[in-house]
Amino acid sequence: MPPKGKAAAKPKETSASASKPSSAPTPPSTISERTQQRIEATNPPITLSSGLSSLSPTEKTLWINSRFARSPTLRAKLGTKAQRDLWRHVNEASLPIRSLAPPSKPITATTTIWGTDKSGRDVGTYTPTQFSERTSKRARLTSLAAASDAFADLRRRAQLRIPDPLTGEDPVLLEADVEAERARRKEMAALRGELYGERTGTYASDPEWDDVTPVALEEPEGALAAIAYPDDYAEAIGYLRAVMLRKEYSPRCLRLTEHVIGLNPAHYTVWLYRASILFALGVDVPEEMRWLNGVALANLKNYQIWHHRHLLVEQYWPVIEGDEGKREEFARGETEFITRMLEEDTKNYHVWSYRSFLVRKLGLWKSAGERERRLVEEMVKEDVRNNSAWSHRFFVVFSDPEQSTEGVGATEFDPKVPGEIVDREVGYALEKIGWAPQNQSPWNYLRGALVKGGRKLGSVKGEVEGYVRDIGGEGEDVRSTHALDLLADIYAEEGDREKADLCLRRLAEKWDPIRAGYWGWRRKMLEADKRD
Amino acid sequence: MPHPEDGAPSPPLDRARHLKYWSRCLRSLLPHHYTSSDSNRIALSYFILSAIDLLLPDSSTTPLSPSPSPLPALLTPSDRLHFRHWILSCQHTGGGFCGSPTMTLPPHSYSGWDFSSRAPEMGNPGHANIAATAFALILLALLASSPEEAASAFLDVDRTATLSWLRRLQRPDGSFGEVLARVEGQEGLVVGGGRDMRYCYFAAVVRWMLRGDEDEEKDIDVDGLVEYIAKSRTYDGGIAESSMHEPHSGYAYCALGALAMLDRRAGGERGFDALGRAFPDVQGLVRWLVSRQFVYVDREEEDDDDGDNFTFSEQQAEEDPCVAFNGRCNKVADTCYCWWVSGALALLPSVDQSEDGSNVDLLIPRTAARRFLMEKTQHMIGGFAKHPGGPPDLYHSYLGLAALATMGEPGLKEFDAALAVSKETAAKIEAARNGLAGVAKSNRTDEGGQLGPALLDLGVEIRGQRPPWLPVGAVG
């Protein structure tokens, strides 16, 4: 029962002074502040911090009256007179009859009754203007989502040919609808990102990919070597797994493989999947080759690209095999591409390997006026130390089926190699040694050519001796350690072990001390040969 | 083995710094530029765990204390278990291991897999990879805390399926591919990956680990593999993918490593049968390998990546030379070739029978070669870079350690050059191999093992005909 009588009149003064600030509230600067003001405005100016018993009798009356004023259930228990009394007191004390429930905890800087935004900021700290902007964005997102649902519904009805119930017409999904939906998704993705920090991937927001559920990556605890992937990679991989699983071979999947390859060209199955799509769709091989050229130029060190290229050539082979014109055109295109690649990286292993594959596949040994050998000769002229070019020349000359025996090892004598070819190659190597005597490439080539031709090493003794002077004597001079090395072998071949040993000793002592252990071993081998 | 006259090399390897680098790689996400290695995460894991193994003291001398270790690099029992589960989660239903979870699928996606044709009913993007399979097996053994525990390390591996998958990866010319896949419009299964000596090496490693010494088990074409490797010899004595390509020290190591695994006997002992067949004369190869060393000279401006980092006169001038290695003639210095070349030399039979020293001791100037790694490519934060002055990466950091270990670095565990892990881990791998072989043998001799085919025959009899999808001898 509320206390009756005059006692209630008194609190008027206290409440008047307490309610004074709320009568002219300063405009709130944040949402939380506005909430606080509203709570204050709708609750009696009494703080019930340490229980009802701590209140003064007038405060107690005020508090109880405010409770009764707000609760019809409580009021129903009062008699008519008591109710009248109650309303009179309420009126006099101008007590609020509606209430905004105060928060269970006092509003502080860390309370987030409004939630947090994407960056973890309390929305309560927004200014009212910022808050209303946020609210309208949310409303916009909701309306877009509704429109998007309508699109999905229309598409479904169009697919199932469910006629419009009012007009009875079959719904038609226009390309313009899809375009509009694409734009809508884009806006929704932007809004979701802005409001909630949600990242909507490129594929998730593309209506074309709605029918694909990405196969997400699940890793058990204790994953090793986890990588901080870019978000778009993780998403693209999820879609790739899904379409590979259902063996979809379509243009959109071709684009997806291109995307994944761009992010991770070393993905070892995406290439095979791409090949499957190409072959299933019957995509023109030269067109794919042109695309691949760009990828190869951007990823000089990648392995998979080259295997893909091999597969394409094998696929294309039946088309060009019987047509010399087409073969020549293809060879010219590939040679151009190889040249372009080698401009970027003159010693790229994959390119040179592919080049030798092409020579064998297309039989380019002597075609087009020995173009292959001449091109490589140009490269050696540019950089006489380009060992890749030297190796390729050896292959082009000494593996040519016309003038070599199949199956003879690279380090074995091949009687089928014509003598004039051996002469030419030995001369070529000797000439290039003259350009840079310490360059090992032509020295290796020289040895290789002599062995192929079944020549004695001593057949070039005169030329080689030109690079050294007075070994072991006062005026000793060496212009090439490789010459000294070869001379050691030449003298050993002649049976002059002492001279051979001297060369090796001088290499170890003076001219090539970092390989002293190796030269020492060679000297021991000389000894061993003598004993045999 | 360190030369007694050298004493301890100085400055010593800062193991703590390297361990810090590797712990970071182990315990936190790798930066995004490793995305292009996403398909080979098992390989990255191998670099990380094997490097930590090399750097930590021998586990037999330091018993694992029950108190939590201050070193984040030390693996707890729960780490070992979780890592093991993660690796096993990459195992492919059809044999072998996939390179990363990206390449595996949820288990239900494998339903409809036909094990005889190895073709899935539906498209199957989960593909086992030969490198991943070798590294996964190594890691399973490495993660065992002791050789006793290692005896069961391979028991969760589908031995039969993996060996049969391995056989199908071999091409008629004896070489191996990395992946087996169906490609639209192509007959049969495509053996993916180019002609690449690395796959030959991994094949020999996987075969050795899983097959045991059993002769009755179907084998790969060993003679074909040896012949393929023999043909990879080039005119200058080196080894390439084939004799028609340029020789390369990485491929040289892989070729010799494959032969070493074919020749491997119990207890890390080896013969030289396969090696002798492939390369009857190694003199040219030794010349080619030692020629990969050169005196490294810093350049003010490296205008050309492939510039010839050597000249004759400079070789003479240097007081305390740094000796670096290249992969091919006239190419630049690179940390990993210190390993490929020293590892390859270590795999050859001792060239000088009269001396005790190994090939590495005899043929590599260790002090100068070490100086290149320690002063030029070692990085402040630990790890090694590819080229002097570059940032460290997992691959070069591990191979830098491997090179030092091969040259007998005192702070590192002894190294097994053929398996490219510490000798301690190699012993665990062997224990795992023997454990698996033992189980496989008992399964074969077990009477219950005969029940499967018998039941199958009974089923066929009842049905009255052999269904086309059931291959002959599918069970057993």
pLDDT digits (tens, 9 = 90+) for B291-302: 999 999 887 544
pLDDT digits (tens, 9 = 90+) for A374-384: 999 999 999 99
| Residue of chain A whose Cα is closest to the Cα of B284 | A411
At A438 the pLDDT is 95
CA A461 to chain centre: 57
Task: Give the integer Cα–Cα distance in Å for A71 and A118.
Answer: 40
At A11 the pLDDT is 40
Q: Is-contact A214 A200, C-beta < 8 A?
A: no
Does A452 reach chain B within 8 Å, measured CB to CB? yes
Q: What are the backbone dihedrals phi and psi of residue B325, each rounded to the nearest 5 degrees, phi first? A: -130, 145
CB contact under 8 A, A264 and B306: no
Nearest CA distance, A279 vs chain B (angstrom): 6
| Chain B residues near residue A391 by CB distance under 8 angstroms | 234, 240, 245-247
Reported as half-sphere exposure (CB side, CA atoms, 13 A), residue A45 has a value of 18
Task: Give the integer Cα–Cα distance in Å for A279 and A275.
Answer: 6
Task: Give the integer Cα–Cα distance in Å for A485 and B223.
Answer: 35
| Chain B residues near residue A512 by CB distance under 8 angstroms | 315
- B74, with CB counted inside 10 A (0-12, 13-18, 19+), is middle
Does A528 reach chain B within 8 Å, measured CB to CB? no
Sign of the alpha-carbon dihedral angle for B374, B379, B380, B381: negative
Return the percentage of chain A with pLDDT > 70, whole number: 91
Question: Residues near B407 by Cβ (< 8 Å), separated by ≥ 6?
Answer: B342, B360, B364, B366, B369, B370
Interface test with A, best of B75, B316, B330 (most A CBs within 10 A): B330
Most confident of A112-121, A155-164, B30-39: B30-39
CB contact under 8 A, A307 and B193: yes
CB contact under 8 A, B352 and A409: no
At B470 the pLDDT is 66
Per-chain mean pLDDT for chain A: 87
The reported pTM is 0.82
Nearest CA distance, A170 vs chain B (angstrom): 35
Query: Which residue from A218, A387, A517 is facing B328, i.e. has the nearest CB?
Result: A387
At B3 the pLDDT is 45
Does A5 reach chain B within 8 Å, measured CB to CB? no
At B52 the pLDDT is 96
Nearest CA distance, A210 vs chain B (angstrom): 20
CB contact under 8 A, A226 and B122: no
| Chain A residues near residue B83 by CB distance under 8 angstroms | 222, 224
Q: What are the backbone dihedrals phi and psi of residue A435, each rounded to the nearest 5 degrees, phi first? A: -70, -40
> Does the structure show a pLDDT above 50 at A137?
yes
Question: Mean pLDDT, to the nearest integer, of A277-290?
Answer: 92
Interface of B with A in 196-255 (CB under 8 A): 196, 230-231, 233-237, 240-241, 243-248
| Chain B residues near residue A429 by CB distance under 8 angstroms | none
Q: Which segment of A138-142, A474-478, B113-117 scores lowest on mean pLDDT?
A: B113-117
Distances from the Cα of B260 to the Cα of B208, B247, B269, B271, B344, angstroms: 10, 19, 10, 8, 10
SS3 for A440-467, per residue? HHHHHHHHHHHHHCCCCHHHHHHHHHCC
Nearest CA distance, A347 vs chain B (angstrom): 8
Does A272 reach chain B within 8 Å, measured CB to CB? yes
Query: Which residue from B25, B179, B286 is facing A269, i.e. has the nearest CB?
Result: B179
3-state secondary structure of B324: strand
| Residue of chain A whose Cα is closest to the Cα of B89 | A220
Question: Mean pLDDT, to the nearest integer, of A28-52?
Answer: 78
CB contact under 8 A, B308 and A353: no
Does B286 reach chain A within 8 Å, measured CB to CB? yes
For B282, other C-beta atoms within 10 Å of its C-beta total: 20
CB contact under 8 A, B352 and A516: no
Q: Which segment of A190-194, B52-56, B353-357 scores lowest on mean pLDDT?
A: B353-357
Interface of B with A in 167-196 (CB under 8 A): 178-179, 181-186, 190, 192-194, 196
Question: Residues near B322 by Cβ (< 8 Å), separated by ≥ 6?
Answer: B295, B296, B368, B371, B372, B375, B376
Using N-to-C axis directions, what is the helix angle for B41-55 and B130-142, rounded to 10°? Answer: 30
pLDDT digits (tens, 9 = 90+) for B117-160: 555 543 444 589 999 999 999 999 999 999 999 999 999 999 98
Amino acid at B253: Y
Two structure tokens written together for B393: 């990466």
Task: Report how many Cβ contacts below 8 Å link chain A to chain B.
Answer: 262
CB contact under 8 A, A352 and B246: yes
* Nearest alpha-carbon partner for B292 in A382, A191, A444, A207: A444
